[in-house]
A and B are shown apart, each in its own frame.
Chain A
Amino acid sequence: MGALRKELLLQWRTRAHAMAAFIFGATSLLLFSFAIGPNAEALRTFSAGFLWLGLLLSSTLTLADSFHAETENRALEGLLLAGADPRSIYYGKAVANWLQLAALGVALTPVMVVLYDAGTTRLPMLLLVILLGTAGISAPGTLYAGMTSQLRARQTLLPLLLFPLIVPVLLAAVKATALTILGDPMRQLESWLFLLVAFNAIYWSLCGLLFGKVVEE
């Protein structure tokens, strides 16, 4: 809990970063529409995919920043020497990243609605999908950010390691969002939500176990 408070406080103090991530995401949403052309029907069909790709691209900015405070002055070693449990450091960071990504997703949704005419009245369901999807990005993303933050090539390596891993999250989140926006006549939404829950359950526990190994050496 203390670790989470520290992370949230840090994020609040560096809110310019969050703003930059949002602007980056919104810009990429704008750019995606140029790939399709001004075809309103196609844009609406692909809106869910664009939203999640924009979110995924800007998530690398958020995640790469998340260990900035620890790598400066080698504060991570200090925290560990002071007796902080690596697991609570990990969960504090992962939950903070999750909340920030979810907020980013919520902020990007109106941009998507305006640009692609992809409105929906099922807002609670959309929020649930955003929460589950961003949790799936955050769990392995925080672990890999912890690894790559100490390297020269962190901007390249983080997406290289993270993107193949979260293919199931991207698939499930895009499908679930599209079903929420475009309607779900065959009641497939539940199975995609189940997939997201299962992915989260596996990676939130596995990455918490492995994070200790990553920082202890």
Chain B
Amino acid sequence: MRVTFWGTRGSIASPGPLTQGYGGNTSCVQVSADDGTCLILDAGTGIRALGDALPQDVARIDILLGHLHMDHIQGLGFFGPIFAPGREIHVWGPPSATLDLRGRLSRYLSPPLFPVRLRDVESRLELHNAPAEPTRIGAFEVTAATIIHPGPTVGYRISENGASMAYLSDHEPALGVDGFPVAPAWTSGHDLAAGVDVLVHDGQYSEAERQARIGWGHSSTVEAAAFARQAGAKRLICFHHDPSHDDEAVDRLVEAATAVAAGVLVSGAREGVSLQV
């Protein structure tokens, strides 16, 4: 599988000269297979450029939303294929006990927040709850599970031919825990990340910032490294960079994670970078 980062930033887009290295667009990651299967993890502002770059002959597009905070759906209305007549697009998102996915997305994709209503797009758009059981989408097996973050939120594990990656973009597994990490059975997201080749994980904060923002739903890069180490992930890619962090700040946070990663290869997600898993 090939993993390409189109948006790596958390919370709000933060373009500018100081963030050019890691990028300013919000969460969007493409996962593609040799047979043309195209998964898109989250629809932050990075999805606009991805939509422009996608070949017309991609028969089906699956967008897997981790949750519905704005930085993960804001690009949906600017994703060109969604307006292409007849284009087959499936959007998956976390289930809610109160409102279906269409109803929740329509809160944004409707006036006055957006000029076009979701029901008026011309693609063949199908909306689904994130699968409760492992599900095949083209070449990939996709597993979704609820993880700790405010509001309904899922993480994803994607596997193909023995390769695997996990995507936990917004995740606070250390919430309420003394001495994180605790036992795997009591660690949010552990099963999704267990033994993966690549773990894309929330690394929004420094340790000091994290202490001031407990309950906001995010992790420090050091916590992300501890989580990756316990899960046995081979590689950790710190993701969802804080909008206030310039490239030098992200470099320092990646270094802090590397110092405690104990064998896990650590890097920071960079917009425009693609890797083969």
Q: Do A and B bind each other?
A: no
A interface with B by C-beta (< 8 Å): none
A-contacting residues of B (Cβ < 8 Å)?
none
